[in-house]
Chains A and B, each alone.
Chain A
């Protein structure tokens, strides 16, 4: 794949020099900071709301580090994945509509290298941002709750990262397949909600990558994990997704 290293270098520099540096890393740091605080304040908030309703008494157990980690994972599952969909929608289609792809691809840069470099750069950003957000969350949780089971959080985050990487690949494929950024985002959101829905169906969760969703909760709770099939199918789906994105982009006229 000629031109790969030069184009990957461009992608990583672009992340560093544009808004892309701030969106997902910013969200992860924000959630790392606020998840422990929200977990600590939630029981008091709920009890004060209940107190204003005569006859209603709600008693919650004292908040713990586990609640902070669960809140963090919930934020990753919802807001960060949707941000991955939105930011990934224009990753190829944006270069096509602005004409930057035309100038790059009339040089010794293969379309395969173009697509793969984009995927690697996005996943690198996601991994770095997740690492940073997780460290912030662990540190903040230690301050607020005096410690917690970090190993469980790391396992859950690693499983989440695998699903998020798959979503990056799916978004790149959608962005290569659709001319418009909006259509790619729509297809990506469809994939996100469909996998969320399928994760509650036993066979799909047991043998498919959608099983990563319930596994996050199991990992946090310290329950035994049976994630060999979900991990294996996620990896296969990533390989197929990358291959599909390259195949589609190679057949397109610019």
Chain B
């Protein structure tokens, strides 16, 4: 890692690397010793409920705030000493973007293009393409008259004007209607492999739809960090559904399983038993034996598919701060 002016980072350099990143506001610990690596080209979801510390992390990554401890590297450079050369390679959209309301959308993109030092022809070409992408191509009104959704789409457009290597989006779909949300997610997905996208959200469906990997933040700490498939598989391997023949057999089997050390929770209805277990192989061995002992017949034994929502609820299901 280097603090020297940025040049194109080697392909293996993480797009984002956080080492022990900590941010404290007075007595409140907003980020607590966060370690995280985002590989180049990934679409990375930064998931957490409101107040988990997502926006704080993005403010640190964009150089708007300084960490209390730890280091944040963006494209190989410590952002505490981020040079304009680093900023020239990132795109950033805050949760509530603020625009000069007297400008039109095209004027704003032109202004941002000038900040990046783009020549006139490039500015005009990119502004036209991005306004079209954002559904603002025909809008000539000043930004002051825009709806929140229009501002959000303009925010995404301005974040892309420099064709960034890393795009950081804070809750990019929260103000959008379902169609706008789908368009933004499609746009994000279209950047896969070309641009690293790091976006924070509390909308699980968005993450499931476009992200390759996800980190779940809870009370300032990363409680999960893996690929989506890995996370859901890991959670799924803990949840079983067992269906048996025989009236009342489910309750008897549940009673006999109730003391097993690997059992975390169990629910039954007439013929179905739903279990969460801590040791799947042990459960796979012992449950059929318990069914036989109860004189019932096994109809179905299924390891459930988990959704990201199941994972999220399991990890952060406690009361909010």
Contact = CB atoms under 8 A, between A and B. Distances in A.
Nearest to A2: B84
Given A98-B98, A103-B94, A108-B116, A3 B84 contact: yes
A96 to B, nearest CB: 9
B274 interface: no
B21 to A, nearest CB: 15
Which residue of B62, B66, B87, B97 has the most chain A CB atoms within 10 A of its CB atom?
A: B87
A104 to B, nearest CB: 7
B99 A103 contact: yes
B65 A106 contact: no
What is the predominant secondary structure among interface residues of chain A facing chain B?
A: helix
What is the predominant secondary structure among interface residues of chain B facing chain A?
A: loop
Interface stretch (B10-18, B107-115, B282-290, B305-313): B107-115
B88 A103 contact: no
Contacts of A253: 59, 64-66
Interface string A1-22: 0110111011000100110000
A102 B99 contact: no
Contact of B115 (A6, A98, A102): A6
Contacts, number: 68
A59 interface: no
B112 A107 contact: yes
Interface in B153-171: 155, 158, 162
A253 to B, nearest CB: 4
B98 A254 contact: no
B102 A109 contact: no
Contact of A106 (B87, B99, B100, B111): B87
Contacts of A107: 87-88, 112, 115-116, 162
Contacts of B180: none
B198 interface: no
Interface of A: 2-3, 5-7, 9-10, 14, 17-18, 95, 98-110, 253-254
30 contacts: A6-B111, A6-B114, A7-B115, A9-B114, A14-B100, A14-B102, A17-B102, A18-B102, A98-B98, A99-B94, A100-B99, A101-B98, A102-B98, A103-B92, A103-B98, A103-B99, A103-B112, A104-B115, A105-B64, A106-B62, A106-B87, A106-B92, A107-B116, A108-B84, A108-B85, A108-B87, A109-B84, A110-B84, A253-B64, A253-B66
